[in-house]
Structure 1
């Protein structure tokens, strides 16, 4: 069982936490642009007043749900990475929640995020934080010889640029991929591309603990 993510913003009651989880499932599968607070209250079998206890407007409710979803992705990745010693295993463990937790993200959800600037900014900040941790993992892998001598910052920025494209619905449609499938392909390319070339001297196995930010 995955431990709960650290509290983000206001602390929620058990009832409010359940409502947020149910809204997350609705938003990811159906989007949120066409849903009204009345719609949500009816589907969640609660009052509008209960939802407005979470946030004063529909937009802020959406952002609250997104923020907690993204925080969970980061937390799960950091938790899993902290248990790994080898950089390749650490990278895979850190990135995997980005695939598994976005598996339900529909193209409609992606489109709705792009239509709401605060949601787009929230997603970009989340991606930037994850890429910064990825850069540190790659740097550790290069130092230990587990990865080829690549430019870690460039690798991280290339990954960020790819992820930015995944956030564009037309790209996913043209590629014939879901949000989760695109992430999975990217992570496979990263893992295989960073592996030392055959015959290249490999450094000692990295036995150092993850950096502080990887544990955050």
Structure 2
């Protein structure tokens, strides 16, 4: 095998392993897994996992980052489809809901209990809140949503997103994160619709 082929296989294998880890973590969480169990589950050696990240903790953070990076691409792609700025906002929030849907309760519990991974989620939530504010501003400027104070709407949505992220919405309503984002999408779009 040539050096060039090894170089292209290494990053591709790393990405494939991260994708597999994301799938396992979303359905089962990550706190209870050992590296030995993960290696068995992914049909690889521990040294292969160490090539992806230097420790289980770093592996978890890498997989969580991978999940949110993939989700961000999918959300932005879906939000770009509608030509109407108001519809882009709705598409954006529904896409967030869809991306979170595969994540089970164990994933969110482990995410909340592991500060480095929780910070990745919090950072993505802050980015999403800024994006919502931008989409509201775009809709107001285009006249496709009723005139509102975009910064206020963005700040209010950010607070709800933070409450979803922290588990407060689940505790208060029983809704998981994906369902809460779907409800938020409906609420925001209904509130911004032109009469």
Q: Which TM-score applies when normalising by structure 2?
A: 0.88
Instruction: Please list the CA deviations of residues 110-144 of structure 1 after superposition, one character each: whole Å capped at 9, or x if unmatched.
Output: 11111111111111111111221211110111122
User: Residue 112 of structure 1 corresponds to which residue in structure 2?
Assistant: 110
C-alpha distance in 1 between matches for 2:32 and 2:168: 20
SS at match of 2:100: coil
User: Residue 85 of structure 1 corresponds to which residue in structure 2?
Assistant: 83
1:94-105 aligned within 5 A: 94-105=92-103
C-alpha distance in 1 between matches for 2:151 and 2:107: 30
C-alpha distance in 1 between matches for 2:90 and 2:145: 13
* Stretch of structure 1 that moved more, 18-27 or 72-81: 72-81
C-alpha distance in 2 between matches for 1:83 and 1:176: 31
Contact 1:63 1:119 in 2 (8 A): yes
Structure 1: gaps (5+ residues)? 1-10, 198-216
| 1:167 corresponds to which of 165, 168, 171 | 165
| 1:47 corresponds to which of 45, 54, 67 | 45
C-alpha distance in 2 between matches for 1:86 and 1:182: 24
C-alpha distance in 2 between matches for 1:170 and 1:156: 19
Contact 2:111 2:117 in 1 (8 A): yes
* Stretch of structure 1 that moved more, 79-88 or 51-60: 79-88
The count of corresponding residues between Structure 1 and Structure 2 is 187
More helix by share: 2
C-alpha distance in 2 between matches for 1:14 and 1:152: 42
| 1:21 corresponds to which of 19, 22, 37 | 19
SS at match of 2:183: helix
CA-atom RMSD in angstroms = 1.8
Instruction: Please list the CA deviations of residues 65-121 of structure 1 after superposition, one character each: whole Å capped at 9, or x if unmatched.
Output: 111111122222222333332112211232233111111111221111111111111
Aligned-residue offset at 1:173: 4.5
C-alpha distance in 2 between matches for 1:94 and 1:171: 20
